Amino acid sequence: MRATKISQVAKAAGVSQTTISRYLNGKYSKMSEKTRQKVARTIKELNYVPTASARQLRQSSSHVVGLLVGDVANTFSCLLAKGIDDVLKPAGYDIVMMNTNNLLDVEQRSLQRLFELQADGILIQPDSINYSSFAACRQRDVPLVLIDREVKDQPQDIGKVTSANQDACYHLGRILKQKGYQNILTVSAHFAEASGQIPRIAGLKMAAEDFDLLYYNIETKGESDKWLQRELIKAIHRLRGKTAVISLMGPVLFKILDIFRQFNIHFPEDVGLISFDDWDWSKYVQNGIYLLKQDVELMGRIAARKLLNQIKGKTTQSDLTILPVEFVKKPSI
């Protein structure tokens, strides 16, 4: 698909190219609010992106690949980037990694910026739960691979790499039932609209229903550590029978361990303890913590290969890969 030209935007908006240029450069002093809104609407309707080299001819390849991650401070992002770099660097590609901070508006601005940079392909750990937020990639013939998180209405031929989170959590529910647990108490932190924790919760809910377990979740987004401390202790005391506490993402485990330490709660004596993700440190906590572990570097390598195949094949078509979740069995349950 050919990129929209500034002359086409000007014609559609009924203004001069100079007016469009002024708008793009933030010079609104001689522009009415009505004209400004009309130009903005036309740019959006025509899907026009002023490139960083808009006054130059597009090169056949920039040898740049964009990577959007939800939280650059999360070790998951670092491992993911490492796997991607292992594949793309030897192929001659540089990676522009952007932190969306799990915010939809930042995600869209970052995506537009990658269009401006003429990225040859884009890898995204999505914040938006809707595929329409990323449809502009295909409209611009930019190869795309979505990683880790689920989005709605994604075409089957769009590249995607994720883990079998829902199935793994359902199997975990069966294990807990066999070990005599009556309650599943999860702690989540939904910082993104398209969170990897959503299928995990769905799997545990299904297991609770099928195996006659009580399921309860504590969502921590926007709440203080003090609030989590109060809610977690209250839930543990309220639930009758044997309870398994599950951290639905690695960073939450730190907070749970701190609360257990403060209130002298032992596992597995008082409660069972399980966590998603691991960076080889939890094995040093007592005799280790029962884990559901994703191979994040492998996820990155597979995603990079999918993107590279699209770039080389001059296509935006790819497929889905679902990676298994490893159960690291430790005596914390």
pLDDT at 116: 87
58 domain-assigned: no
27 domain-assigned: yes
pLDDT at 56: 35
Residues in Cβ contact with 253 at an 8 Å cutoff, skipping those fewer than 6 apart: 247, 275, 282, 289
pLDDT at 1: 54
Q: Which of 82, 73, 132, 121 is nearest to 101 (CA)?
A: 73
329 domain-assigned: no
Residues in Cβ contact with 125 at an 8 Å cutoff, skipping those fewer than 6 apart: 68, 69, 70, 77, 80, 146, 147, 148, 149
CB 198 within 8 A of CB 150: yes
271 domain-assigned: yes
pLDDT at 60: 58
Please report, for the domain that includes residue 276, its CATH number.
3.40.50.2300
Q: According to the 3-state scheme, what is the secondary structure of 179-197?
A: CCCCEEEEEECCCCCCCCH
191 domain-assigned: yes
1 domain-assigned: no
pLDDT at 278: 61
Per-residue pLDDT of the chain in tens (333 residues, 90 and over written 9)? 567 888 888 899 999 888 887 787 767 777 898 998 899 899 888 888 775 544 333 345 789 999 999 999 888 999 999 999 999 999 999 999 999 999 999 999 999 999 988 899 999 999 999 999 999 999 999 999 999 999 999 999 999 999 999 999 999 999 999 999 999 999 998 778 898 899 999 999 999 999 999 999 999 988 999 999 999 999 999 999 999 999 998 889 999 999 999 999 999 999 999 999 766 677 778 888 999 999 999 999 999 999 999 999 999 999 999 999 999 999 999
Same domain, 226 and 239: yes
pLDDT at 54: 42
Please give the residue range of the domain that contains residue 114. 64-162+296-322
59 domain-assigned: no
50 domain-assigned: no
How many structural domains comprise the chain? 3
